[in-house]
Amino acid sequence: MVVGGGLAGMAAAVALGSAGFEVDLHESRPFLGGRATSFPLDPSDPDSERIDNCQHVLLRCFTNLLDFYERVGTSGKIAFHDRFYYVRPGGTVDVLKRGLLPAPLHLAGSLLRFGALDAADKWSVIRGLGKLKRDAGRPDLEAITMSDWLRSVGTTETALRRFWQPILVSALNEELDRAAAQWGFQVFLDGMMASPKSYEMGIPAVPLAELYSSAGSLGKNVHVHLRSAVEQIDPAGNAADFYVCAAPFERVADLLPGLGLQLDKFEHSPITGIHLWYDRPITSLPHAVLLDRTLQWVFRKSETYVQAVVSASRSLTTLSRAEIVELACNELREFFPASREAKLVRSHVIKEMRATFSSRPGLLSQRPDPATTYPNVFLAGDWTNTGWPPTMEGAVRSGYRAAENVCRAAGNEMSFVC
Ligand SMILES: Cc1cc2nc3c(=O)[nH]c(=O)nc-3n(C[C@H](O)[C@H](O)[C@H](O)COP(=O)(O)OP(=O)(O)OC[C@H]3O[C@@H](n4cnc5c(N)ncnc54)[C@H](O)[C@@H]3O)c2cc1C
């Protein structure tokens, strides 16, 4: 039995189903996907336009997530982009893209042409990237913040704000003075620098839920039970031979009261998605990093529909939805002059207060492995000890690791993590 139909639970179910287990997956909501999902804009009309709770992106280095999409037959629905567009207030655009040099220098050419940074900023970035490689094995990276480390290597304020923050705050969903340096290192070493393609950004070409909604997509041995909230897992009961608990960290104490996990260092970090429909196109860019303002990224979802994203969006939590829309439209007018003439037709703001856990220094010791004190109960979820910050990759990885543990407990070693 798998409890929770987010990516972690689905990954565990698909892996176990492929290994020949009969799997019952229980999801309390009426749809799969958990925090990476989409829903009809008009709740009373299931056929109305579907929007994602928030734009989700991946990097080529998300190997387990890509393996999962392959297993459920939807890997072809991810479009990869090899250019990042950085827009300054006023509308000037810089492009970060691969050049001819080999990794880790493949982005160096576009970095040298990057107009948003002056020569001292660029030098501090280049020096920082070199030190990052050298410091990668430092034992204290989980104990210090990313901004502590960046400052210790002489990063300029502009380089911090215009180069490091846009990539890392969205990748980690945390401010750099709150996120442990270990995860910032990982994003750069595995994503931006590992190979000429590893930095490429994957954007689902369909609403998120369509990546896992087709009947039977989780495999023939997996039986999905929607609207099926599990109240408690009884390890000694006979509901199943093995249990994978793939619920978020705040639900685990209720589901498994005897487990006694210490989770007092866990806290949430919010994300706000701002969906805006205009009467005309406001930009021809498919997506863009927005510099020096509150909005961080914008994605063009159709000709006239854009979605802006603010990660670690604590500054927005006290604002009303109308205030957030006004702030977003004002900022977009600065970045995209075409939007000054455009009329806003519709808007929708989604504040995800529990978007992810906050990857603070010192949290690692509380992130549990899949195995528990019960021989037949295993944990999964982006918050477990995945070796990753809170991401879809971490969630799938945790599901595969839980499935490997179940196989081992059943006397049939299998490996799924790739
Ligand atoms: C707004 C937002 C933007 C994000 N952007 C990105 C991004 O761009 N890239 C990226 O990699 N990651 C992103 N993430 C993070 C990513 O969505 C999560 O890391 C991942 O989806 C977590 O998956 P999970 O399976 O661990 O947990 P969840 O998705 O939370 O799944 C847990 C499931 O368990 C169910 N459940 C809970 N209790 C019970 C119960 N008692 N019985 C049955 N079911 C139960 C829940 O309904 C839920 O479906 C974003 C997250 C949010 C919220």
Q: Which domains does the chain have, with CATH numbers?
A: 2-33+212-266+361-409 (3.50.50.60), 99-198 (1.10.405), 268-357 (3.90.660.10)
CA 34–ligand 1 middle distance (angstroms): 4
- State whether the beta carbon of 54 lies less than 6 angstroms from ligand 1: yes
**Cα–Cα separations (whole angstroms), residue 94 to 103, 172, 252, 307:** 21, 23, 45, 20
Which of 170, 173, 392, 401 for mutating ligand 1's site (highest number of atoms within 8 Å of CB)? 392
Is pLDDT above 60 for 183? yes
- Shortest-distance atom of ligand 1 to CA 394: 19
- SS3 at position 165: helix
**pLDDT, tens digit (0-9, with 9 covering 90-100), for 201-222:** 999 999 999 999 765 789 989 9
HSE-CB for 313 with a 13 A CA cutoff: 28
Q: pLDDT at position 150, please?
A: 98
Report pLDDT digits (tens) over 105-120. 899 999 999 999 999 9
Best residue among 1, 35, 65, 232 to mutate for probing ligand 1's pocket (most ligand atoms within 8 Å of CB) is 35
Average pLDDT over residues 247-263: 96
* Complete DSSP assignment for 174-188: S-TTTSBHHHHHHII
Tell me the pLDDT of the chain averaged across its residues. 96
Share of the chain above pLDDT 90, in %: 93
204 lines ligand 1 (CB under 6 A): no
Q: At 8, which helix (H) or strand (E)?
A: helix 7-18
- pLDDT higher than 80, residue 351: yes
- Residue 274 pLDDT > 80, yes or no? yes
pLDDT at 215: 57
For residues 120-145, average pLDDT: 96
Which mutation among 56, 81, 208, 396 tests ligand 1's pocket best, with the greatest number of atoms within 8 A of CB? 56
The yes-or-no verdict on residue 363 having pLDDT over 80 is: yes
- Residue with the smallest CA separation from ligand 1 atom 3 is 54
Q: What is the CA radius of gyration of the chain?
A: 22
Segment 248-272 mean pLDDT: 96
* Token pair of 339 as six digits: 């939007």
Q: Per-residue pLDDT for 140 more than 70?
A: yes
**In this structure, which residue's CA is closest to atom 37 in ligand 1?**
247
- How far is C-alpha 330 from the chain's CA centre? 27
Distance CA 93, CA 277 (A): 23
